[in-house]
A and B are shown apart, each in its own frame.
Chain A
Amino acid sequence: MLTLRLAFRNLLRHKSRSLLCGLSMMGAYVLFSISLGFSDGSYGSLIRMLTDTHSGHVQIHSQGYLERPSLFRNFILYPALKNQLTADPEIEAWSARVFSSALIFRENKSTIARLMAIDPEQEAQVTTMREKVQDGEYLSEAADVTNPILLGRHLQKLLQAKLGETLIFIGQGADGSIANDLFTVVGIVGKSSADAESRMIYMTLESAQEFLSLGERIHEVALRLENYSEARRKAAYLQNYLKAKELDVQPWQVVEEQFYKAMLADQQGNWITQAIIMLIVGLVVLITVLMNTFERRHEYGLLLALGTSPGFIFRSIIVEMTMLSGLSVIVGLFFSSGLNWYFSINGIAIEPPMEYGGVVFSAISSEVSLFVMFVPAGFTIGVAFLVAFFPAIKSARAVPIEAMREN
């Protein structure tokens, strides 16, 4: 207790020196915290971008569909399963989907396009589908139109189709028949031809099931959870709960395996950057501690000459440096949390946007989390504690007369 009191008193005794050392340590902590915040925040926003715009957090398919998607690998979403998904408090929303492809004709132009069928209202609760509409109206707002579709920007340019025009679709039905029908363009999706959705055609579930002779069968159910980090646990729980061997429940990490692997590889590389930042933080703390103790060699020599035990000198230096770093981190917490919070909301725009694992990334943002706050805090205090050993031992073992001559 005496050591603590003396250490605290020492810090107050030389306010300007303590302030300078504290600011150095705080700066190092804030730098590390913001660096981690941006790292985690960027991956987090990437994941949210992916799951919010397309995949959802968990998906249910027929067994084998993920490995080899096929029109015929479908299943019926029975009322019991619907009720289970709706009643589950951890599932914010779910949406059934159908996928296929078709040959599209408009006058003398034609192309092959990928089709995605959705329940417009349910899908809008799982993904940002409604916000993807750039011109025209969303599927649910075109209730008076027979077979409404949202046409991707790229396809619209290719076919030179306009809103309200009818396109001819020809594909394969799930009963082996030749699927053929007319569909009306009610909206255009995608801001540019580069957007993933600009090569897609979206239609209602009912239209697709009729067109493809699927009856009530679907290919996919996408679930939105409260937090994407719960996806693995929830998928495992649902797989076990459903007890349906023909169904396969997987988190976004499996559904978007390519993206996830790219992200993990990138995270590995990112740790090199973090290690360099940690090294910088460590050096700053080391220099600060050395400066703080060696500047006071004369004082320690005097204390030793007056009979203070070397052990006490050693302890007081360790405690003083640890206390100084702790106080610096506490003050730094406010700055780092504030900055991380600000950048988590506003982000920093990337111009031009870059594509990452199939997802267009237009801004980097930070994140406020316990990890981002306390890992740098622990590291800063830990480094201060460890590097204080060297000057503490040196000061404790100093010959008083020699130490007093140094100033």
Chain B
Amino acid sequence: MKQIFGIAIFVFVFPFSVPAETSVEGLLDKVDRLYRSDSSHATMEMKIVTENWERTTVMEVWSRGMNDTLIKILSPRKDKGIKTLKLGNQMWNYFPKINKVLKVPPSMMMNSWMGSDFTNDDLVKENTLAEDYHAKLEEHPSDPNQFYFIVLRPKNETVTVWGKISISIRRQDFMPVEQIYYNEDGEKKRVMEFSGIQQMGGKMIPAVMEMRTLNKNSRTLIRYKSIDFKPVFSKSIFSFSQLRRK
């Protein structure tokens, strides 16, 4: 995600655009260009459903370039004003009720972000897939005529819990459809599905993403309500001083 957490995840997850060539590098590169602009501003709704509870959160997300993202929760009332700032590969959370900024330590990177099926690590590393993984274009296991199938395996030096990530991309418009995360034993652990492809902010993007954590029987649905790829905002919003401002 570049811009928003959602976008960030999306991008991190795929970098898809309309590639002229269908090499892995080409696909990843084109996708990068499709979702990454200099900045973005979006509003999205995140619905989390678990065995024990269900919660819907509305968020506003700003992003700048590849590295900087600010997420602000608009509702529910109890969480209103909570912010997450990502600068490079570091993250901070701000809680207005207690007026405190907490840095997310490395030990908590695999913890859930705001109770969702996305981890803090997902937010931080969204733009490093191509760098951290060996990508290989393979034949799609069920419908090779309709989809490209990219398999990502971590490089030796990459610190990750995933043994493999696979991405299915529609051939007709290069839109991502599904992304599956496997552990080191090859077991499927998480599945992210993309849907609701539509024109938003002047681009065709999947407006809905659903992440399911299989062993927890939980899912997180993110729906973009609006997105602007040419927003106007001060660069200073990606700073600690601005983080504490309402």
Contact = CB atoms under 8 A, between A and B. Distances in A.
Interface stretch (A51-59, A136-144, A174-182): A174-182
Contact of B55 (A168, A169, A170, A176): A176
B113 to A, nearest CB: 10
Interface string B185-207: 00000000000000000000000
Interface in B49-70: 50-55
A182 B98 contact: yes
Interface string B110-136: 001011100000000000000000000
B53 A178 contact: no
B29 interface: no
A105 interface: yes
What is the size category of the interface that chain A forms with chain B? 10 to 19
Contacts of A182: 97-98
Interface residues of B, number: 20
Most buried by B among A105, A168, A176, A182: A176
Nearest to B93: A178
Nearest to A210: B78
B79 interface: yes
A168 B79 CA distance: 16
B97 A174 contact: no
B102 interface: yes
A205 to B, nearest CB: 18
B100 interface: yes
B98 A176 contact: no
A168 B95 CA distance: 11
Contacts, number: 48
B115 A178 contact: yes
A103 to B, nearest CB: 9
Contacts of A177: 55, 78-79, 114-115
Most buried by A among B48, B78, B100: B78
B82 A178 contact: yes
Interface of B: 48, 50-55, 78-79, 82, 93, 95, 97-98, 100, 102, 112, 114-116
23 contacts: A72-B51, A72-B53, A105-B100, A169-B98, A170-B95, A170-B100, A170-B102, A172-B115, A173-B115, A174-B52, A175-B54, A176-B112, A176-B114, A176-B115, A177-B55, A177-B78, A177-B115, A178-B93, A180-B95, A180-B100, A181-B97, A182-B98, A213-B78
Given A177-B78, A178-B79, A180-B95, 12 more contacts: A169-B98, A174-B53, A175-B54, A175-B55, A176-B48, A176-B112, A176-B116, A177-B79, A177-B115, A178-B93, A178-B115, A180-B97
Interface of A: 72, 105, 168-170, 172-178, 180-182, 213
